[in-house]
Chain A
Amino acid sequence: MRFISGAVLAGLTFTAACTGIVGDTGEGDDAAADVGEHRDPLCEGAPQQLRMLSRDEVAASLNAVFGVPAVDWIGIVPPDPPAEGYVMATATSTMSDERLEQLLAVSNQVADAVAANAPVLAPCASTTADAECLASFVRDRLPIAYRRPTSEAEVQAVVAVAQAALDDGMSFADAMGQAAAAMSLAPHHLYRFEISDDDGELSDFAIAELLAFGLTGAPPDEALRRAAEQGELRDAEVRREQATRLIDSPAGRARLVSFVASWLEFGELDHADKSTSAYPEFDDELRGEMKDAALAFIEYVLFEGDGRLSTLFTSPTVIATPRLAELYGVPQTDGPVDVPSRPGILTRAAVLTAQSGPSASSPVRRGFLIRHRLLCTEVPPPPPAVDAAIPPASEVETTRDRFELHLSDPSCAACHQLMDPLGFPFEGFDGIGRARSTENGVAVDTSGAFTHGGESVDVADAAEFVAQLAAEPDLAACFAENYRMVGLGRPTTYSEACVPSVVLDTLAAQDGRLVDIVASWVATEDFIRRIK
Chain B
Amino acid sequence: MKQLGLSRRRFLSAMAAVGTSSLAHTLGRSVAHAQDGNVPKRLLLLFSPHGTSYPDWRPKVAGGDFDIDFPDSILAPLAPLKQKICVVEGLDMLCAYYYARSGHEGGITSLFTGTHRNDDNTTDSPSIDQAIANHLATTASPVPHRVLNYVVGLDATFGAGTSAFFETQGNAAQPIPCQSNPLAEFHRLFDGVTPDGPTPEQLALTARKKRLLDLSREQLGAIRQTLGSFERIKLDAHVEAIAQLEARLDTVVSCAPPTGVQGTGDPAYMDHSTAQQVQTTREFSELVTQAFACRLTHVAGIQLGFSGHFGTFPETGFTGDTHHDLAHDSIADGVATDPVDPQSSGSRQAYLDMQRVYTQRVTDLLMGMDAIVEENGKTLLDNTMVVWAGCLGNSAMHSNIDIPIVLAGGAGRVQMNRYLQYEYTQGNHNIHLDGSGSAPHNHLLASICNVFDMGVSGYGDPNYSGTLDAL
Q: Chain A residues in contact with chain B, CB under 8 A?
A: 1-4, 48-50, 52, 72, 75-76, 78-84, 92, 94-97, 99-102, 104-105, 107-108, 157-158, 160-161, 164-165, 168, 178, 181-182, 185-188, 191, 195, 267-268, 270-271, 273-277, 283-284, 358, 381-382, 384-386, 388-389, 491, 493-494
Contact = CB atoms under 8 A, between A and B. Distances in A.
A185 B212 contact: yes
Given A2-B120, A81-B175, A271 B159 contact: yes
A57 to B, nearest CB: 16
B345 interface: yes
B119 interface: yes
A75 B328 contact: no
B29 interface: no
9 contacts: A76-B181, A81-B121, A92-B169, A104-B209, A187-B216, A275-B329, A276-B324, A277-B328, A284-B310
A160 B219 CA distance: 13
Nearest to A271: B159
A241 B179 CA distance: 42
A197 B310 CA distance: 53
B363 interface: no
Given A165-B208, A276-B345, A493-B1, A81 B158 contact: yes
B15 interface: no
Interface string B412-427: 0000000000000000
Contacts of A157: 215, 218-219
Given A48-B230, A185-B216, A382-B100, A94 B157 contact: no
Nearest to B236: A94
B231 A187 contact: no
B231 to A, nearest CB: 4
B237 A79 contact: no
Given A2-B120, A271-B162, A358-B398, A105 B188 contact: yes
B242 interface: yes
A96 B170 CA distance: 13
A525 B343 CA distance: 64
Contacts, number: 172
B428 A389 contact: yes
A20 to B, nearest CB: 25
Interface string B200-216: 00001001110111011
Given A100-B245, A108-B209, 17 more contacts: A2-B119, A75-B183, A75-B269, A76-B184, A94-B234, A94-B238, A95-B238, A100-B242, A104-B245, A105-B187, A267-B159, A268-B159, A276-B325, A276-B329, A277-B329, A283-B321, A388-B100
Interface string B97-133: 1111010100000000000001111000000000000
Given A270-B157, A274-B324, A358-B328, A84 B216 contact: no
Contacts of A165: 208
Among A97, A158, A185, A191, find the residue whose CB has the most chain B CB atoms closer than 10 A: A97
Interface string B281-313: 000000000000000000000000000101000
B174 interface: yes
Interface string B28-70: 0000000000000000000000000000000000000000000
B212 A182 contact: yes
Contacts of A94: 169, 233-234, 237-238
Nearest to B151: A78
B147 to A, nearest CB: 9
Contacts of B178: 78
Contact of A187 (B211, B219, B240): B219
Contacts of B99: 381-382, 384
Given A48-B230, A182-B215, A385 B1 contact: no
Given A78-B178, A84-B120, A95-B237, A186 B159 contact: no
Contacts of A100: 238, 241-242, 245
Interface of B: 1-2, 97-100, 102, 104, 118-121, 155-163, 169-170, 174-175, 177-181, 183-184, 187-188, 204, 207-209, 211-213, 215-216, 218-220, 223, 227, 230-231, 233-235, 237-238, 240-242, 244-245, 248, 265, 267, 269, 308, 310, 321, 323-325, 328-329, 345-346, 398, 428-429, 433
Given A79-B156, A97-B244, A101-B188, A386 B204 contact: no
Given A168-B204, A270-B159, A276-B321, A75 B181 contact: yes
Contacts of B204: 168
Contacts of B175: 81
A4 B223 contact: no
Given A97-B248, A105-B188, A50 B158 contact: no
B98 A158 contact: no
Nearest to B243: A97
A517 B412 CA distance: 64
Contacts of B212: 104, 107, 161, 178, 181-182, 185
B157 A79 contact: yes
Contact of B2 (A1, A52, A107): A1
B160 A268 contact: yes
B248 to A, nearest CB: 7
* Those 10 A-B pairs whose CB atoms lie nearest each other, nearest first: A78-B177, A271-B159, A388-B100, A97-B244, A382-B100, A94-B237, A95-B238, A276-B324, A100-B241, A97-B241
B119 A385 contact: no
Contacts of A78: 156, 177-180
A164 B209 CA distance: 12
Nearest to B273: A284
Among A1, A94, A104, A494, find the residue whose CB has the most chain B CB atoms closer than 10 A: A94
B182 to A, nearest CB: 10
A150 to B, nearest CB: 12
A195 B215 contact: no
Contacts of A178: 208, 211-212
Nearest to B218: A157
Contacts of B121: 81
B177 A80 contact: yes
A169 to B, nearest CB: 9
Among A2, A81, A275, find the residue whose CB has the most chain B CB atoms closer than 10 A: A81
A13 B267 CA distance: 53
B332 to A, nearest CB: 11
Nearest to B156: A78
Contacts of B207: 168
Contacts of A275: 324, 328-329
A50 B321 CA distance: 45
A483 to B, nearest CB: 18
A313 B219 CA distance: 49
A48 B232 CA distance: 13
Among A75, A185, A191, find the residue whose CB has the most chain B CB atoms closer than 10 A: A75
A82 B100 CA distance: 23
A1 B216 contact: no
A187 B178 CA distance: 24
B212 to A, nearest CB: 5
